[in-house]
Structure 1
Amino acid sequence: MSIDIDPLREADGIAVTDHIENTQFEVYTDRPVDPRPRPRSDHYFPVDASAAVETGSIEISRVAVVETRAGDGTLLTHGDCYTMPDGTYHVGINPAPTKLYLSFDSGFAVSTTDRTTRIDLDAPGTVGLGFRSLHQTPAGTITTPTDPESLMDAVSLLGSALQTTSPERSFPTLRGHPPLIEPGEEFRVPERVEPVDSGVRIVVPPEYRYLYPVVSLAYYFAAAVVPGDAPRIEGDGWTYPLEPGFEARTAQVLRQSFHLDCLARTEGFYPVDLHERETTDLDLDWERLYDLPLAERLGEYLDVPFEAVEPELPQWTLTTDVRPDPENVEMLPFVARELSIVRSPESVTPVDDDEGVGVGFLGTPDRSAPAAETEPAGGPDALDRGDFVRGGSGAGVARGADPAVERGAVPAQTEFVRPEPVDTVEHAWVGDGVPLDANKATLDAYHRRLEAGQVEQSRISVLVVCNDDQMREEGNVADLYGLRDMVQFDIEVRHDLSREGMRETLESDVDFLHYIGHVDDRGMQCADSYLDLTDEDLEIGVSAFLLNACQSYQQGEALVHRGSRGGIVTLSDVANSPATKLGRIIARLMNSGFNLRTALHVAKRELITGHQYIVVGDGGTTICQSRSGVAVVFNVEKRSEDEFDLSADFYPNGHHKSGSLATLNTDIIGYNYYVPSLVDCESISKSELLDLMEKELIPVFYDGELAWSGSITID
């Protein structure tokens, strides 16, 4: 069992220890208690551990919201100060270090102070307490030989992290982090990693190129993965082939089953008005599907032709290419955790083998970059950051190296690869090579995501470093941070740092570094010399970064290897004006709670030069949470003087992963949507639109151009 419940020794109440999250907290009572086991099924929501105590009150040392449901699960009310009459209740307290649920038969009162939340029963009695691990960290690490058949046994245990096999596992809070995988000579499984018998089997040939693409399915279906000739999914009495088009079919199965689970779950714990449920053209018995075991439900889902479901599906968030190599096995739990579509390309196109076709912005000595992007015409707004010249008229302002240093747009030792295009919002790459237009994901960065844990902080530290006087215009990005009133930002701007000053900066505990300056093969330029992060032995404290300088990939990669979670870097020389504009966009998006990958995706909609940038490390890194939880982008088009069409893209983000519920905070939208989703609202009035945009600082594409809700002019 992952959670222990023990009486307190020096106070009245119990101590709750979550061995997965390594957390402990105390629940106080008004008298000494001796917790006794209670069936977990007594609670309305799934729990990992359950106990009963005799008490007249329950108190925790947190300010929380208390959600009250009737005995049948109907939501009655929620808040931090209210009373309820006699009755049978299921009560949830959030937030707490674990999910905390109470069940009892009594009237009660909820009260809070500036530090505590308390529930007082009208009469002392039996209170059932249920606890479920938030399970944001793995329960343990599976050691396995890396041959495909041994690895199948490990992948078969990824679903052990699911809190339920019902359709509610489409909620992110009911999908724990899969156990980690590491190579070893013998197969060993930690005690707390227990298999879930879902009745689903995935049969694939024992080859990496077949095994890797099914890891998200194995996790989400808690499926056993076994060797066989013809790729297929099996349940009791049914078989679904995964060929022809193996990778495409695995993606279809993931998207279709997840969508239908989100629709079916409205028959369960949360009978909300879900837009996707109300608008579906599928004629299915949702109540019956909800009650079926997972394997039977999945079989009926897959009886529905994908062509019938596809028009209803939102754009999926992430595709990850995992090269079919044994050294990539440790990445699989992280990829599955994100419910990523997975491809495993056996071959990939090196950029230097495409005879210069479509290389885009990567100019080399033999290959010129498009003039409109990296060699713009004259004028101070079109200067290239690839030619570093101080003084004079400023016509040589750049973010690169001295032209006397012979070099191409990328270091000769760097192998650039061109992955196949994706249909998803985001794209990650696992394996050798630097991918064009994709997140170069690294194992050390994902491990740092776990080390970061659930850090609670009220202030976000942002450091803007400008190491060139002629680029001080972009240094004004500091003004774009800290515009939100819910999160306080500590913002500092530093100019012309020395080499030692840059070392100290990189080693400091900073949430986000925005670097503006020059980078070349010698490293990051400082006032007195260069600091090469690929050679220096540094302990990096910076969590996330934007290195807005020419060819900053290698320096950014070194930052990740030495301690950062992730950042945005350039693959080529970048022109000064668009680089400045992109830096400002990224600054505001990170300030608004976007993660690195989604922020760059939005920036690319505005600037084609955004394709010169990629994310390195953990692309899911954020520096703060958006006010609404999910990352939101508005798209507005004018119909008439007082009528507009509005659509809103909801992107998974932070704790609000795929399957979360979201809606627009306006009376004109009466439904919830599951994330990711696109919310359409036609013919909204100007006053309604302005009122909606005043609620939060968000990016708005108005007639195709990017603006911000706090400063946009709608006319």
Structure 2
Amino acid sequence: MSIDIDPLSDAAGLTVTDHIENTQFEVYTDRSVEPVATPEDAHYFPVDASVTVETGTIEIPRVAVVETRSGDGTLLTRGDSYAMPAGTYHVGINPVPTKLYVTFASPFSVSTTERTTRIELDAPAEVTLGFRSLHQVPAGTIQTPTDPESLMDAVSLLGSALQTTSPERSFPTLRGHPPLIEPDDELRVPDRVEPLDSGVQIVVPPEYRYLYPVVSLAYYFAADVVPGDAPRIEGDGWIHSLEPEFERRTAEALRQAFHFDCLARTEGFYPVDLHERETTDIALDWGRLYDLPLAERLGEYLAVPFERVEPELPQWTLTTDVRPDPENVEMIPFIAGELSIVRSPETVTPATGNEGGGVGFFRGARAEPAPLGPEEFVRGAADTEPTRGADASAERGAVPADADFVRPEPVDTVEHAWVGAGVPLDANKATLDAYHRRLEVGSVEQSRISVLVVCNDEQMREEGEVADLYGLRDMVQFDIEVRHDLTREEMRETLQSDVDFLHYIGHVDDRGMQCTDEYLDLTAEDLDVGVSAFLLNACQSYQQGEALIHRGSRGGIVTLSDVANSPATQLGRIIARLMNSGFNLRTALHVAKRELITGHQYIVVGDGGTTVCHSRSGSAVVVDLKNHDSDGWGFSVNIYPNGPYGLGSLTTPNIDSARSNYYVPAQACASGVKKDELTDFLNLEVLPIFLDGELGWSDEISID
């Protein structure tokens, strides 16, 4: 079983451990309980595990929204403070690390404090709790020839994973992971992969540069992809051209349709007051649109000029560049599953190692590297005298001479991934083996999160203090270890261990990681790697980090050039806090780059969606505060999709000035926020805060 439910040893309640997602949380009761396994069909929604206990209260240590349905599933109300009369109820609580459903027959009330959500029954009764892992796996693998026209048949089956063709598929839990794709001599489709007849057709020329950019559309629209001359989307009686500027028009169709689905779904099972619907100035009959078949609904969506919709749209999260080569076909399901905007560049601009004094310093028009202080040194090889001062980058090359660096075109999204040959500047180098590890399911020995900090240089001990930043959570149990001056054999054993996150501080060069006796080359064929995710905070660690991905890791952050010690230390501390707060690798590095120009010396390798743990609120949250005056603070909060809380999740900022329902990704803004209200919000969770443009943390900054 993927979920274990056990009585708490030191309090009244239950510990819920999801072995697939590596999460654990606690549910409190008003008395000691002994859970009794009960049938999963006791719940309105599907669950993986179900138990019954006798209690008068159910409490979780986070602020959540409680959704109440009647015995037949009709939605009655949702919120964080209300009371219900006698009856039989199906109650859902969100967000929590797994889906949590509660069934009982009793009057009850819902209340919240700054840190808890509580359901209180009028009298103790039998309460059945159901839990469903947020993990999603493909239904099977499609085998297919890889020429573009043959591949269209496989891409046409991506939408088979959708659990509905209604607007509710904009919820991440109702989309499902697309089936995998594997090259073969002929098309073979597993029995469990059954096409959906959505009535939508995508017509593109049979070329990779046209096929790759429509894979997210094919998945989300459950569309048939067929060959033709003029790129277009077709339904019964309507045609939407994807020309001119094919890739731009494709991205616009995805963003527009997804946005309108999020508005229309408020007419269905989740009739919430949605901020984006309240602020839209487009007069559409959402109730009628909700009831239409997908193809008819999509035709009416796309009939609205994109220019009218664009000002309302949130910043999309991810763009993926996929080189138009047949060896990239196996990445298609993962890219589509993330609803990424896709480009397929036929040509790419090379970037040389001596450009701008080091590839890691590119940022806008800046042409020179950040100068080093007189006592600064770079994290180069430690068997030479550490280079100090402004001439450091001149004495050591910024990148290996044979590195094939490429400069992708800029993107308008928060995150950027690259699939294909070359080392991309300012983009996640995504790899197939890393994405496959996202799907691996197996039992775990423990439910605690293990973090290992390794510092192999005495001059860098200051960054080793990041160990204090991991584990600052009240809902996640961490095992944190700090080790210094490891030998080659000790480092080999460390990399083989089952560690969730490795934070390495030291020296790396083309010989590998420097240890106290000699170097450990991570590209060696006999190296076994058990570490799940990592930060290699050392000079030019790309090659060694990529080797970790190929040998067993899922994702990591590496450097493309020499890094000066002080900014590297600062970046290491930022990444530590963000990973501890539940951010994924890509979003964590995005936030770090806002604070540090030297953050552009780093990229993500492997699966950029990798997290160490889930955030308290589910999504990744970044707050901006500015213009403090007599009227109060200017406040905005950016909410990014993260892990199971993907595109389309509902979210509600717990601050009265911006307390509306939003869909993720979202930006909630308010002005004139008073000190007491802001203090209450910042006390809910440790969050990154940009105060007048400078990064701080909600548990450290003063807003007096």
Distance 1:182 1:604 in 2: 36
Is the counterpart of residue 383 in structure 1 residue 377 in structure 2?
yes
Separation (CA, whole Å) in 1 of partners of 2:631 and 2:520: 56
In 2: Cα distance, 1:444 partner to 1:567 partner: 13
Query: Secondary structure in 1 aligned to 2:536?
Result: strand
Query: Which residue, out of 678, 683, 704, partners 2:667?
Result: 678
Equivalence for 2:411: 422
How far did 1:212 drift? 0.3
8 Å Cα contact 2:172-2:646 kept in structure 1: yes
Aligned to 2:628: 639
In 2 relative to 1, CA 525–48 (structure 1 residues): closer, same or farther, beyond 3 Å?
Answer: closer
Tell me if structure 1 keeps the 8 A contact 2:373–2:389: no
Aligned mates of 1:646, 1:146 — CA distance in 2: 50
| Corresponding residue of 1:711 | 700
Of all paired residues, the percent bearing the same amino acid is 72
Decide whether aligned partners of structure 1 residues 453 and 589 sit closer, same or farther in structure 2, where only a CA change above 3 A counts.
farther
- Separation of aligned partners in 2, 1:281 and 1:76: 27
Matches within 5 A, 1:198-209: 198-209=198-209
Partner of 2:181 in structure 1?
181
- Pick from 528, 531, 546 the counterpart of residue 539 of structure 1: 528
Once the two structures are superposed, the pairs formed by residues 532-681 of structure 1 within 5 Å of their partners are 532-641=521-630, 643-681=632-670
- TM-aligned CA distance change 1:421 to 1:218, over 3 Å: same
Distance change >3 Å, CA 139–CA 95, structure 1 → 2: farther
State the alpha-carbon separation in 1 of the partners of residues 655 and 92 from structure 2.
27
Aligned AA for 1:441? A
**Residue aligned with 2:483, SS:** strand
Residue 96 of structure 1, CA deviation: 12
Contact 2:381 2:514 (8 Å CA) reproduced:
no
- In structure 2, the residue matched to 1:138 is 138
Query: Highest CA radius of gyration, 1 or 2?
Result: 1
Q: Is the 8 A contact 1:387 1:401 kept in 2?
A: no
Q: Tell me by how many angstroms 1:208 deviates.
A: 0.6
Q: Residues 67, 488 of structure 1: CA spacing in aligned structure 2 closer, same or farther, 3 A cutoff? A: same
The 8 Å contact of residues 135 and 176 in structure 1, kept in 2 or not, is answered as: no
RMSD: 3.9
Give me the whole-angstrom Cα distance separating, in 2, the residues matched to 1:236 and 1:264.
21
Q: In the TM superposition, what whole-angstrom CA distance separates every residue of 1:2-50 from its partner, at most 9, and x where no partner exists?
A: xxxxxxxxxxxxxxxxxx99xxx99636xxx9x9xx9xxxx987x799x
Most deviating of 636-645 and 137-146: 636-645
| Structure 2 match to 1:16 | none
**Change over 3 Å in CA distance of 1:359–1:567 after alignment to 2:** same
Matched, 1:217 2:223: no
Q: Which residue of 2 aligns with 1:485?
A: 474
For 1:530, the equivalent position in structure 2 comes to 519
Report the secondary structure of 2:440's partner residue. Answer: helix
Structure 2 equivalent of residue 28 of structure 1: 38
Question: Does structure 1 retain, via aligned residues, the 8 Å contact 2:372–2:388?
Answer: no
Shift of 1:452: 4.9
Q: How far off is 1:259 after superposition?
A: 0.5
3-state secondary structure, aligned to 2:591: helix
Deviates more, 1:688-697 or 1:517-526: 688-697
Q: Distance in 2 between matches of 1:26 and 1:445?
A: 38
Alpha-carbon distance between aligned partners in 1 of 2:281 and 2:86, rounded to the nearest angstrom: 43
Task: Tell me the residue number matched to 2:266.
Answer: 266
8 Å CA contact retained: 1:389, 1:397 = no
Counterpart residue identity of residue 384, structure 1: V
Deviation at 1:258, TM superposition (A): 0.5
Q: Once structures 1 and 2 are overlaid, which stretch shifts more, 491-500 or 681-690?
A: 681-690
The aligned runs of 1:28-67 (5 Å cut-off) are 28=38, 59=51
In the other structure, the counterpart of 1:366 is: none
Note closer, same or farther for the CA distance 1:468–1:359 as it changes in structure 2 (3 Å cut): closer
Report deviation, 1:397: 10
**What is the CA distance between 1:274 and its match in structure 2?**
0.8
- Residue of structure 2 in register with 1:450 after alignment: 439
Distance in 1, Cα, partners of 2:37 & 2:500: 33
Partner of 2:505: 516
| Structure 1 residue 278: Cα displacement | 0.6
TM superposition shift of 1:200: 0.5
Partner of 1:320: 320
Contact 2:144 2:150 in 1 (8 A): yes
Counterpart residue identity of residue 580, structure 1: T
- Looking at structure 2, the residues matched to 350 and 185 of structure 1 have their Cα atoms a distance apart, in angstroms, of 35
* Pairwise CA distance, 1:562: 0.3
Distance 1:595 1:429, change over 3 A: same
3-state SS in 2 of match to 1:257: helix
Whole-angstrom CA distance in 2 between matches of 1:96 and 1:680? 25
Contact 1:388 1:402 in 2 (8 A): no
TM alignment of 1:215-294, pairs within 5 A: 215-294=215-294
TM-score (norm 2): 0.84
Distance 2:653 2:380 in 1: 44
Tell me: CA distance 1:323–1:371, structure 2 relative to 1, closer, same or farther (3 Å): closer
List per-residue Cα deviations over 1:337-371 (Å, max 9, x = no partner): 10000000111111139x946964479xxxxx966
Partner AA of 1:710 in structure 2: D
Q: Aligned residues, how many?
A: 647
Retained in 1: the 8 A contact 2:358–2:561?
no
Q: Structure 2 matches for 1:62-141, cutoff 5 A? A: 68-70=68-70, 71=72, 73-76=74-77, 85-86=86-87, 136-141=136-141
CA distance in 1, matches of 2:155, 2:271: 33
Relative to structure 1, is the Cα distance of residues 339 and 454 closer, same or farther in structure 2, using a 3 angstrom cutoff?
A: farther
Give a deviation string over 1:59-110, Cα, whole Å, max 9, x none.
459999995413472235799xx996357x666699999989899xx95689
d(CA) in 2 for partners of 1:634, 1:618: 25
2:339 equivalent in structure 1: 339
Which whole-Å CA distance do the structure 1 matches of 2:639 and 2:446 have between them?
25
Q: How far did residue 412 of structure 1 move?
A: 2.8
* Partner SS state of residue 262, structure 1: helix
Query: Contact 1:362 / 1:410 at 8 angstroms: preserved in 2?
Result: no
Q: Distance in 1 between matches of 2:289 and 2:334?
A: 30
Deviation at 1:489, TM superposition (A): 1.6
Distance in 1 (CA, whole Å) between partners of 2:181 and 2:108 is 44
Q: Are residues 710 and 340 of structure 1, via their aligned partners in 2, closer, same or farther at CA, if it must alter by over 3 Å?
A: same
Cα distance in 2 for residues equivalent to 1:97 and 1:575: 38
Structure 2: how far apart are the matches of 1:176 and 1:459?
Answer: 27
Q: Deviations over 1:383-403 (max 9, x none)?
A: 322464678xx77499x9997
Shift of residue 488, structure 1, vs aligned partner? 2.0
Instruction: Give distance in 2, aligned partners of 1:222 and 1:641.
Output: 53
Contact 1:515 1:548 in 2 (8 A): yes
Residue type of the alignment partner of 1:239? I
- Classify 1:328/1:469 alpha carbon distance in 2 versus 1 (closer, same or farther; 3 Å): same
Against the structure 1 CA distance between its residues 506 and 387, is the aligned structure 2 distance closer, same or farther, given a 3 Å change threshold? closer
State the partner residue of 1:13: none
Question: Higher relative contact order at CA 8 Å, sep ≥6: structure 1 or structure 2?
Answer: 2
Shift of 1:664: 1.2
- CA shift at 1:309, angstroms? 0.3
Unaligned runs of 5+ in 1: 1-19, 50-57, 112-116, 364-368
How far did 1:615 drift? 0.2
Q: Give the TM-score normalised by structure 1.
A: 0.83
Say if 1:259 and 1:76 are closer, same or farther in 2 by CA, change over 3 A.
closer
Structure 2: segments with no counterpart, 5+ residues: 1-19, 22-34, 61-65, 110-118
SS of aligned partner of 2:499: coil
Match of 2:379, as an amino acid?
Answer: R
CA distance in 2, matches of 1:537, 1:632: 41
Question: Which 10-residue stretch deviates more, 482-491 or 339-348?
Answer: 482-491
Whether the 8 Å CA contact 2:233–2:241 is kept in 1: the answer is yes
Q: Please state if 1:409 is matched with 2:398.
A: yes
Deviation at 1:539, TM superposition (A): 1.5
